[in-house]
C-alpha cells in the first residue's frame, strides 16, 4: 500500500482521529464512499458512451440521398399522388397538342 507499513498507517489513523475527532469520522467515511460511487458511476457512463460511439462507427453508412428516397417511398399515399401527377401531365400534353 504505497510502501507504507502497519506502523505508518496506524500513525496516520491516530493523527486523523486527533484532527477530526471520533464523531466526524463516520461522516467523512460516508462522504468518501459517496465520492467513490460517483466516480465509478461516471466512469461507467463514459465507457457506455465510448462503446456506443464505437458501435455507431462500425455500422455501415449508406448514401444519404438513397436513404432519404427510401424513407419518402414509405410515406402512405405517395404512389397514388405520383400516378395522379403523371396522368395530369399526360392530359396537359394532350391539350397542348390539340391547340
Report domain extents, the chain.
1-59, 62-99
Per-residue pLDDT tens for 28-72?
889 889 998 999 888 888 888 888 777 767 766 667 777 777 777
Q: Return the C-alpha cell found at 31.
A: 462522504
Between 62 and 87, name the one with better pLDDT: 87
Structure confidence at residue 61 (pLDDT)? 63
Average pLDDT, the chain: 82
Between 16 and 60, name the one with better pLDDT: 16
CATH architecture of 1-59: Up-down Bundle (1.20)
C-alpha angle 29-34-36 in degrees, rounded to nearest 5: 95
For the entire predicted model, the pTM comes to 0.40
Amino acid at each position: 500500500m504505497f510502501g507504507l507499513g502497519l506502523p505508518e498507517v496506524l500513525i496516520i489513523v491516530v493523527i486523523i482521529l486527533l484532527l477530526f475527532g471520533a464523531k466526524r469520522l463516520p461522516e467523512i467515511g460516508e462522504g468518501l464512499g459517496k465520492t467513490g460511487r460517483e466516480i465509478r458511476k461516471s466512469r461507467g457512463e463514459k465507457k457506455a458512451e465510448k462503446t456506443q460511439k464505437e458501435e455507431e462507427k462500425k455500422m455501415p453508412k449508406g448514401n444519404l440521398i438513397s436513404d432519404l428516397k427510401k424513407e419518402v417511398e414509405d410515406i402512405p399515399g405517395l404512389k397514388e399522388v405520383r400516378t395522379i401527377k403523371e396522368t395530369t401531365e399526360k392530359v396537359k400534353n394532350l391539350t397542348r397538342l390539340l391547340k
